[in-house]
């Protein structure tokens, strides 16, 4: 493979110009105040098909020979790459065949079909679906569009870095999610090629951290399959190609917890009115929790995608509320006599909490005689408000199971 440089990204920028949306870079007053930095969000969740993936897919298809391209393309994906390839292929007027595992989310399957993709559901894992895609590549002689292990794909993703520098030439720190490494290695190549002093930090989840471990250990490693709400970056390992770029250009890689990602999703929804998927929210989670920025720095967060499965969005919101101390689940032991419940509710009312759910348990075998458990779900203002509520309730009653 020839040396990959900023020239590849500049060529990709010319290729996708007018075909792929130039997404906005928006300053966030809220996150700037929270962190003491000047925070800007690169909103790839507003990109065509809802994520950055169409950039690399379009650039790859554009660089195929016409004879090969005319037959169509094949790809394997559980989500965003599928939609990006399907949309890019439709823009060229060719057929795309997308292999997805049988358990892929229904909304992502339907969205891929909506962009013109022919979806084949095969296998119970990404690896099984990938093997099927390789069979189709060989049997039907269709070019396989890899999600990240391809210079043309990486170059397409790297155009995000050029756009950022056009809009904010004096950026100090860029924070970006890492899955297979295609997005951050393209952006890093572009940014370091024009502004070597800009620090670039990658973010993974604690559950799926192959790129983090590879970067720290200096050698390519794989991680076993884990569960994370940031499924868009739940990749077992970067490729040799992307890892070589990560080693050359990244300043650091950090990891974030699931609760921190959920809180970031909630903050982006509430403060920026933006629906952002788990992978797209990890950059904000890292800025808020990992001590990666210096006061006053100009920081750009890559919001990589917004393709949230609406059926599970409420779970993310609930987790975010719990993390930020705005959702309090209590079990309170009170005497089973007139006035006890009223005394409990009076405390809640006086401190201004909102009761979301309440239930009285009289039949638990562990209950002391003549007592009941009141199960409460409360909406609170913040962590301090939650602690105040618990302390006030504990002055009169006994809390169980917190």
**Cα–Cα distances in angstroms (integers) from residue 247 to residues 43, 150, 215, 223, in the given order:** 26, 17, 7, 18
Whether residue 159 contacts residue 189, with contact meaning beta carbons closer than 8 Å, is answered with no
pLDDT at 255 over 90: yes
**What pLDDT is recorded for position 247?**
96
pLDDT band at 163 (very low <50, low <70, confident <90, very high): very high
**What pLDDT is recorded for position 2?**
59
pLDDT digits (tens, 9 = 90+) for 96-149: 999 999 988 888 899 999 999 999 999 988 889 999 999 999 999 999 999 999
> How large is the C-alpha radius of gyration of the chain?
24
- CA 78 to chain CA centroid, Å, is 14
* pLDDT over 70, % of the chain: 99
User: What's the residue count for the chain?
Assistant: 402
pLDDT digits (tens, 9 = 90+) for 171-227: 999 999 999 999 999 999 999 999 999 999 999 999 999 999 999 999 999 988 788
Q: Spell out the domains of the chain, with CATH numbers in brackets.
A: 6-51+154-322 (3.40.50.1100), 65-140 (3.40.50.1100), 325-399 (3.30.70.260)
Paired tokens of 57 = 């897919």
**What pLDDT is recorded for position 401?**
65
Mean pLDDT of 312-317: 76
Compute the distance between CA of residue 120 and CA of residue 107 in angstroms, rounded to an integer: 15
> Among 310, 338, 176, 343, which residue's Cα sits nearest to residue 253?
176
Query: Taking the model in full, what pTM does it have?
Result: 0.85
**3 state DSSP class of 349:** helix
* pLDDT over 90, % of the chain: 81
Pairing relation of β-strands 327-335 and 398-399? Answer: antiparallel
pLDDT digits (tens, 9 = 90+) for 32-88: 999 999 999 999 999 999 999 999 999 999 999 999 999 999 999 988 999 999 999
User: Taking the CB of residue 274, how many other CB atoms lie within 10 A of it?
Assistant: 19
pLDDT at 402 over 60: no
Compute the distance between CA of residue 267 and CA of residue 286 in angstroms, rounded to an integer: 13
pLDDT band at 362 (very low <50, low <70, confident <90, very high): confident
């Amino acid at each position: 493979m020839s040396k990959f440089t900023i020239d590849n990204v500049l060529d990709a920028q010319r290729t996708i110009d007018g075909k792929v949306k130039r997404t906005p870079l928006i300053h966030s007053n809220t996150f700037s105040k929270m962190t003491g930095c000047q925070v800007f969000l690169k909103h790839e969740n507003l990109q065509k098909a809802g994520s950055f993936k169409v950039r690399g897919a379009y650039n790859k298809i554009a660089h195929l020979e016409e004879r090969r391209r005319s037959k169509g393309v094949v790809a394997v994906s559980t989500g965003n790459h599928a939609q990006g390839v399907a949309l890019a292929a439709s823009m060229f007027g060719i057929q795309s065949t997308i292999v997805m595992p049988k358990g892929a989310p229904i909304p992502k399957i339907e969205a891929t079909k909506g962009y013109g993709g022919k979806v084949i559901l095969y296998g119970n894992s990404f690896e099984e679906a990938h093997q099927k895609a390789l069979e189709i590549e060989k049997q039907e002689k269709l070019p396989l569009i890899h999600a990240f292990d391809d210079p043309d794909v990486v170059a397409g993703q790297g155009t995000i870095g050029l756009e950022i520098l056009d809009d904010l030439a004096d950026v100090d720190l860029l924070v970006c999610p890492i899955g297979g490494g295609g997005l951050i290695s393209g952006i890093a190549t572009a940014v370091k090629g024009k502004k070597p002093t800009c620090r670039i930090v990658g973010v993974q989840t604690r559950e799926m951290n192959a790129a983090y471990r590879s970067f720290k250990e200096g050698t390519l490693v794989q991680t076993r399959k884990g569960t994370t709400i940031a499924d868009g970056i739940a990749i077992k390992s970067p490729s040799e190609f992307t890892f070589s770029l990560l080693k050359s250009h990244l300043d650091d890689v950090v990891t974030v917890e699931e609760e921190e990602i959920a809180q970031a999703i909630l903050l982006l929804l509430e403060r920026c009115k933006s629906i952002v998927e788990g992978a797209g929210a990890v950059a904000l989670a890292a800025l808020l929790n990992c001590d990666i920025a210096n006061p006053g720095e100009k920081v750009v967060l890559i919001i990589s995608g917004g393709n949230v499965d609406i059926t599970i969005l409420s779970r993310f919101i609930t987790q975010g509320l719990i993390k930020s101390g705005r959702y309090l689940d209590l079990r309170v032991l009170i005497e089973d006599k007139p006035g006890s419940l009223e005394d409990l509710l009076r405390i809640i009312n006086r401190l201004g909490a909102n009761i979301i759910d309440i239930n009285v348990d009289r039949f638990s075998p562990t209950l002391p005689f003549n007592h009941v458990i009141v199960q409460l779900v409360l909406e609170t203002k913040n962590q301090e408000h939650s602690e105040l509520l618990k302390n006030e309730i504990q002055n009169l009653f006994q809390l169980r199971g917190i």
